[in-house]
Amino acid sequence: MTRYTVDRIEDKFAVCIDENDNTINIELSKFDFKITEGLYIMYDDVKDCFYPDYSNTKKHKTKNRKRLKNLFGRGK
């Protein structure tokens, strides 16, 4: 399985970044779940389908939120 992060949505594509920092455009029609910026998704090569990785998404959003609070002095 390959993990991607949705960087942004452009027209009918999700612009995603893989674990090696490569960018790939994936048609939104390939997803049977809601795509949002920052969502982690997994691609199953065998089944040729994508899965949302909500637990990793939540973990990274929480981590980044803490970083921002500390950066702006609100995390004390």
Give DSSP secondary structure letters for 31-45.
-SS---TT-EEEEET
- pTM assigned to the model: 0.81
Question: Which residue ranges form the domains of the chain, and what is each CATH number?
Answer: 2-70 (2.40.50)
- Which of 44, 51, 48, 42 has its CA nearest to residue 3? 42
pLDDT tens per residue across span 10-45: 999 999 999 999 999 999 999 999 999 999 999 999
Q: What is the DSSP letter of 21?
A: S
Residue 53 in contact with residue 4, Cβ under 8 Å?
no
- 9 contacts: CB under 8 Å, gap ≥ 6: 15, 28, 35, 37
